[in-house]
Structure 1
Amino acid sequence: MTAAKPSSVGVGLALAGLGAVGFSGKAIIAKLAYRHGVDAVTVLMWRMVLAAPLFLALAWWAGRGQAKLTRADWRDVLFLGFTGYYLASALDFAGLQYISAGLERLILYLNPTMVLLFGVFMQGQRVQPRQGWALGVSYAGVVLAFGQEVNLGAGGDTALGSALVLGSALSYAVYLSRSGQVVGRLGTLRLTGLATSVACALCLLQFVLLKPLNAAWVPAPVLGLSLLNATLCTFVPVLAVMAAVQRLGAPLAAQVGMVGPFSTLLLASWLLGEVFTPGMLAGTVMVLAGVWAVSRRA
């Protein structure tokens, strides 16, 4: 950071913030689409189909002049595409049918703590006292936000939606835990393009297996929202965050990304009419404080 030019740092901060807000907007747009009578399978299919050409182009561009993928590379790409982009997205969009966008973003933001717990249970890593406190604060914040939503009358739907989104967060944590070595071999852009393209194909296959083909005919507003989701809330944030990491480094870019949950709360209150309670704000602060402590320690 001391060697970085101020202009580069400023651009990096702006890109990191843009990426965080873009990713957060995905939930807002999905819930707006649900108001037109479509379900999660259809919304996800259109989002991924419209994003597919962009990620295929990214994979091609990043792979120019690189070695061909081996059978082991393809196996890793398929696994990471399934866990990190297909399963995580499918569970997330399903859960958004039952819970608020604010609660969804908080649960997803537990990813770093889940990666830490994977290291503890699967690799024998030890949790330092500060990390233990951070984990406790993060999950207590989610419980507080969950309780606030239950009190607003959602009841069992909140439990179901939260479980689905928690499954999404776990699936993406598996992706994060397994992707490090593959990134070293293929590069971030190439792996992202390939893995996301795999997920796009799986989302289309899921739609074909679960829905009649005429269900693809959706109202025009849904197509417009899906296009926004595929570009401004999927492809553009991926590139923005990667560019921010190049300028700032991963730790600072991740800290700037903490504006994401707050932007979700504000956008959900403005565009969706979701109730923005003091309890939800307190839960958000607790989750971000815990995740920040875990990420800073790492």
Structure 2
Amino acid sequence: MKQRHRGPEAGGEGERRQETYLVGVWLAVLSAFGFSFKAILIKLAYAVPQETPVDAVTLLALRMLCALPVFLWCARSAGRGGKPFSRRDALAIIGLGLVGYYGASIFDFVGLCYISAGLERVILFTYPILTLLFEVLWFRRPVSGYERLAVAVCYAGIALVFVHDLGGAEHQRDIWLGSGFVLASAATYAFYLSGGGRLIARYGSVRFASAALIVSTLATFVHFGVVHSPAALVQPVRVYLLALIMGLFSTVMPVFALAAAISRIGSAPAALIGSLGPVLTIALGWGMLDEPLSLMQIFGALLVIGAVLLIGRKGRQAARKAIPAVVEEAEAAEAEPVGPVSG
């Protein structure tokens, strides 16, 4: 029996594939780190010493101002040669941009005025569970036993992290208030994902997300103009620097890094690596913000991550049986992410 010998071309191709996969893994890690670092940057900006600390609306406006040129470039590049938005779709994108990005972002920034970065990221990471619940309500698909289990495990994990922060808080009302704002952020982002599937399949995720982000940016500027004068934009240099890093490193870069990672390793491994987010934020909060760290907090975060991964791994099979058209459209657009997680 003759043995097959692999030529140098085959060996070289295998090495290239391995290198491509490794690059994809590191891009996914970089994306997860960028998303996780956002809450740390927000807390650092709030803590910059000045007579009147920067507020959520001003900081969000500065962040969006830094990222806007990239959004405009993406919208122009993705829209070149594509079909124009219909009036109905344009109105839908405006609505989803206002709710899913502007609403999610402002709720998140306000919530971080009251709670730790670690608790914020754990609550925010529940958006896939909330997306599932919205789909159950909208498409009336049945909920399987494992999905009920995932929801229960997810909120048990949140409860552990919440109790951890509540026990060490001087003002427990702040923990309740901040958690409510961040949960509203996760819910509005989940609403955006649930409502955007058909538009993403029709126009592509980059074009759709860029348009929605531009709408969100304009809404943020209007909000700022209503509640502040232009003088509020005068901030210490450190606030400008943090807003710039936030806009580029924790908004633009993670989106493109995630897109590149998915193209190299696939969406499932990229999602698995992205689940490191809550743990990374908890670790960064402990190391950079002196936030308390406990085994209860870590265990709670792991429960949330496990529940989200369970939904992500098995949810598509259940969805395909109940709403195949929606799943086919989502899979057609799966090669690219739809934007920064919850603002």
> Shared fold (TM-score greater than 0.5)?
yes
User: What residue in structure 1 maps to residue 213 of structure 2?
Assistant: 196
The partner residue of 1:87 within 89, 93, 103 is 103
1:185 CA drift (Å):
1.2
The partner residue of 2:139 within 110, 123, 127 is 123
Aligned AA for 1:97?
A: C
1:212 CA drift (Å):
2.2
The partner residue of 2:185 within 168, 173, 176 is 168
Runs of 4+ more than 4 Å apart: none
Question: Given the alignment of the two structures, is residue 210 of structure 1 paired with residue 227 of structure 2, yes or no?
Answer: yes
1:228 CA drift (Å):
0.1
Tell me the matched-pair count: 296
Question: Given the alignment of the two structures, is residue 9 of structure 1 paired with residue 21 of structure 2, yes or no?
Answer: yes
User: What residue in structure 2 maps to residue 245 of structure 1?
Assistant: 262
Question: Given the alignment of the two structures, is residue 135 of structure 1 paired with residue 135 of structure 2, yes or no?
Answer: no
User: What residue in structure 1 maps to residue 166 of structure 2?
Assistant: 150
User: What residue in structure 1 maps to residue 306 of structure 2?
Assistant: 289
The partner residue of 2:34 within 19, 22, 25 is 22
- Provide the rounded CA distance (Å) in 1 between the counterparts of 2:259 and 2:239: 29
Higher relative contact order (CA 8 A, sep 6+): 1
Q: How does 1:26-41 map to 2 (within 5 A)?
A: 26-36=38-48, 37-41=53-57
User: What residue in structure 2 maps to residue 53 of structure 1?
Assistant: 69
Q: Normalization by structure 1: what TM-score?
A: 0.96
1:228-266 deviations in Å (ceiling 9; x for gaps): 000000001111112222222222211110111111011
Q: Which segment is superposed worse, 177-186 or 222-231? A: 177-186
Alignment RMSD (CA, Å): 1.4
- Provide the rounded CA distance (Å) in 2 between the counterparts of 1:17 and 1:73: 34
- Provide the rounded CA distance (Å) in 2 between the counterparts of 1:197 and 1:6: 37
Aligned AA for 1:194?
A: A
1:40 CA drift (Å):
0.6
Query: Highest CA radius of gyration, 1 or 2?
Result: 2
Question: Given the alignment of the two structures, is residue 229 of structure 1 paired with residue 225 of structure 2, yes or no?
Answer: no
Q: Which segment is superposed worse, 111-120 or 154-163? A: 111-120
The partner residue of 2:197 within 162, 168, 180 is 180
- Provide the rounded CA distance (Å) in 1 between the counterparts of 2:250 and 2:199: 25
Q: Which segment is superposed worse, 186-195 or 68-77? A: 68-77
Q: Any gaps of 5 or more consecutive residues in structure 2?
A: 1-13, 316-343
- Provide the rounded CA distance (Å) in 2 between the counterparts of 1:103 and 1:159: 11
- Provide the rounded CA distance (Å) in 1 between the counterparts of 2:244 and 2:266: 30
Q: Percent of aligned pairs with the same residue?
A: 39
Q: Any gaps of 5 or more consecutive residues in structure 1?
A: none
**SS state at 2:84 partner:** coil
User: What residue in structure 2 maps to residue 260 of structure 1?
Assistant: 277
**SS state at 1:281 partner:** helix
1:297 CA drift (Å):
0.9
1:153-209 deviations in Å (ceiling 9; x for gaps): 240000000000000000000011011111111111111211111111111111000
1:112-145 deviations in Å (ceiling 9; x for gaps): 1111111222221111111111111110000111
**SS state at 2:250 partner:** helix
- Provide the rounded CA distance (Å) in 2 between the counterparts of 1:95 and 1:106: 13
- Provide the rounded CA distance (Å) in 2 between the counterparts of 1:34 and 1:297: 40
User: What residue in structure 1 maps to residue 117 of structure 2?
Assistant: 101
Aligned AA for 1:210?
A: V
- Provide the rounded CA distance (Å) in 1 between the counterparts of 2:266 and 2:97: 25
**SS state at 1:5 partner:** helix
